[in-house]
Amino acid sequence: MRKQENKEQLSYTTYTHPDHKRWIVFVHGAGGSSKTFSRQIAAFKKHFNLLLPDMRHHGGSQDLELLSKEEMSFDVVGQDILSLMDDLGIETAHFIGISMGAIVIRMVEQLAPERIDSIIIGGGVMKLNRRTHILFRAGLFFSKLIPYHQLYKMVAHILMPRENHAVARRLFVREAGKVKKEAFKSWLSLISGLKNKLDDLFIKPLAVPTLMITGAQDFAFLDDVREYASLFPFVRMAEIPKCGHVCNIEKADLFNKHSLDFLLSFKS
């Protein structure tokens, strides 16, 4: 394992083995960190080299430059990951994203499609439907009135309300609480303005083999994932019963099995 933190690039952790040639890049969601994937490391490092970055202003990447609202975009976040891959000499990789990590991966694909071997999305945010769009717009409004860490808890309970979602909910609240106030506002503003952009991004298929894994209790985003998979039958989908939004934490064994069965089906 190698862990790297500095103020000029994304903080990241790698797991490498001299016999492994292929890489997986893990992309966490907004408010999370690379710790989101702690339950994947042992299973995946047996077969692949792993790169786990913390996105701009998250986890160990807190001190990266805070951009203005006009400058901040998912293009920038995607380019951060590509620049890190360049620094580490990673030409191509499989990508695994959770929640809004799906959007970041989509941006990476638009910027440099040749860098992506395949994509796995867990609990993917494919659209902001009316309900979730209102939720994030309301969050942006209330961020001016109540402490932002209280908003984390509110959003976590709305998106992950059931008792069996508690572990994922606690992890989200803990990691999101580390995001600084101004960075939080910047990301919330970015997310709340996503609706039209998402409609453009996910109206067409991803250009590489894709597996979408979702919890059957992910009420906010499940229907959109089902709709996307139905539009493009070559996109594989696995639905995990009795599971909420952050399926790689809540049902890690099943998430890992579906993912590895998919990844190991490709020739080396």
Please check the confidence at residue 134 and state whether its pLDDT lies above 60.
Answer: no
Cα torsion for 255, 258, 263, 266, to the nearest 10°? 180
Report whether 32 contacts 58 (CB < 8 A): yes
User: In the chain, what percentage of residues exceed pLDDT 90?
Assistant: 49
Per-residue model confidence (pLDDT) at position 192: 62
Mean pLDDT of the chain: 85
Residues in contact with 60: Cβ distance below 8 Å, sequence separation at least 6, in sequence order: 5, 11, 12, 33, 34, 54
Q: No. of H helices and E strands in the chain? A: 11, 8
Q: For residue 153, give Cα distances in angstroms to 100, 104, 169, 192, 242.
A: 17, 23, 8, 17, 22
Report whether 196 contacts 179 (CB < 8 A): no
Beta 93-98 vs 116-122: how paired, if at all? parallel
Per-residue model confidence (pLDDT) at position 174: 87
Q: Which residues pair with 237 in a beta bridge?
A: 212
Where residue 149 falls among pLDDT bands split at 50, 70, 90? low
In CATH, the architecture of 2-127+196-263 is 3-Layer(aba) Sandwich (3.40)
User: In the chain, what percentage of residues exceed pLDDT 70?
Assistant: 83
Over residues 136-144, the mean pLDDT reads 55
The domains of the chain are located at 2-127+196-263
Element (H, E) at 130: helix 130-142
Per-residue model confidence (pLDDT) at position 137: 58
Nearest Cα to Cα of residue 61 among 9, 1, 108: 9
Over residues 130-152, the mean pLDDT reads 59
Candidate from 1-5, 98-102, 110-114 with smallest mean pLDDT: 1-5
pLDDT tens-digit readout, 212-228: 999 999 988 898 899 88
pLDDT tens-digit readout, 231-259: 888 899 999 999 999 999 999 999 999 99
pTM: 0.90
Candidate from 4-8, 49-53, 105-109, 118-122 with smallest mean pLDDT: 4-8
pLDDT tens-digit readout, 42-70: 999 999 999 999 999 888 888 887 777 77
Please check the confidence at residue 114 and state whether its pLDDT lies above 60.
Answer: yes
DSSP state of 258: H
Please check the confidence at residue 201 and state whether its pLDDT lies above 70.
Answer: no
Residues in contact with 201: Cβ distance below 8 Å, sequence separation at least 6, in sequence order: 103, 106, 110
